[in-house]
Amino acid sequence: MDCRRFLSRLWKWGVVALAGATVWTSWELLRPTGGQVSGPIATVPLDTIPSESVLEVPTIRGYLTEVDGTTVSLNWKCPHLGCKVPWCESSGQFECPCHGSVFNRAGE
């Protein structure tokens, strides 16, 4: 195989690899949002929502809590890397296992 044919094939495989990487990394934006709902969801009675802790609700993929008399719904997905951020009872904060960020009950 001569140099010209080798470089031509190398460029073609490079373009294919780049296109594959583009689709692979864009899948989060392109995939259907199956399972997600919009609008009101019947979850729990308001009087069962804790004011000093959080209540995990799998149907909304998040948490419910009460902050300053207002019911707050928080998504359990980390805004940085997308992993699930669990509530830590001992520290009273959300602690991300992926990169160590911490969030209060208001999501800040």
- Measure the CA–CA gap between 93 and 70, rounded to whole angstroms: 18
> Does residue 87 have a pLDDT over 70?
yes
CATH for the stretch 46-103: 2.102.10.10
Using 50, 70 and 90 to split pLDDT, how confident is the model at 8?
very high
- Measure the CA–CA gap between 71 and 107, rounded to whole angstroms: 12
Query: What is the predicted pLDDT for the residue at 34?
Result: 55
> Does residue 9 have a pLDDT over 90?
yes
Query: What is the predicted pLDDT for the residue at 70?
Result: 80
- The residue behind tokens 């520290």 is 91
- Measure the CA–CA gap between 16 and 70, rounded to whole angstroms: 52
Query: What is the predicted pLDDT for the residue at 14?
Result: 95
Domain ranges (residues) in the chain = 1-32, 46-103
pLDDT, one tens digit per residue, over 24-79 is: 888 767 776 555 556 666 667 777 777 777 777 777 778 888 888 788 888 878 77
> Does residue 16 have a pLDDT over 80?
yes
Q: What does the pLDDT average to over 5-17? A: 94
Q: What does the pLDDT average to over 75-103? A: 79
